[in-house]
Amino acid sequence: MPPMIVVMTAVPTKPTTARPARLGAVSYLNTLPMIEGLGKLAEVTLTLTPPSELASMLERDEVDLALASSIDYQRSSIPLAILPVGMIGSSGPTLTVRLFSRVPIEDLKTVACDVDSHTSVTLLRIVLQQQHGLSPELLPFDADALEHRHNAADDDWPESLLLIGDKVVTASPPAIVYPHQLDLGEAWKDLTGLPFV
């Protein structure tokens, strides 16, 4: 199943009392068409968070619905239902899911992976294995501190870096440090002929 972002809900086990619907959503620009204005409704409580937190919020009963990923759906410890209300996708480059590397892609040994996304890490693993025959070590990386790293010495940056979301556009690492880049939406399209959804 290709990675996708869909709205999911925990399968109810008991009736709920009347209260605003608690919706968890990704806090990135590409989700605005799906959630714009929902936070102003009295019937909705909107929580914005990184995508990697959404399925856990469903599991902890902190939200009733979430714009969560299919990877987290498959890994959930509780039954979830997928609601067919929309998803985010591109046919070709996403511009917001990108691998940055100091070395040519075929020479990768390690990748520091943005902890905000589980889907992107899985997609990276598939693309590198299927297209390049690689299985580099994937390490967690807190990309929230990225804006402070721009003043860091070049050798303080990881060998390679997987980033997602708005920070790919607004706080991407210097191209002089990472001359080799791979857009995972484009790589997925090249690999499968399908849109990245």
Q: What does the pLDDT look like over 138-179, one tens digit per residue?
A: 999 988 766 555 555 556 779 999 999 888 888 888 888 899
With 70 as the cut, is the pLDDT of residue 106 above it? yes
What's the pLDDT score for residue 2? 34
* Both tokens assigned to 172: 């991407």
What's the pLDDT score for residue 4? 37
Give the other-Cβ count within 10 Å of 146's Cβ.
20
* Greatest extent of the chain over all pairs of C-alpha atoms, in Å: 57
Please indicate whether residue 101 or residue 197 has the higher confidence score (pLDDT).
101
3-state SS string for 73-99: HHHCCCCEEEECCCCCCECCCCCCEEE
Q: What does the pLDDT look like over 26-71, one tens digit per residue?
A: 888 888 888 899 889 999 999 999 988 999 999 999 999 998 888 8
What's the pLDDT score for residue 16? 58
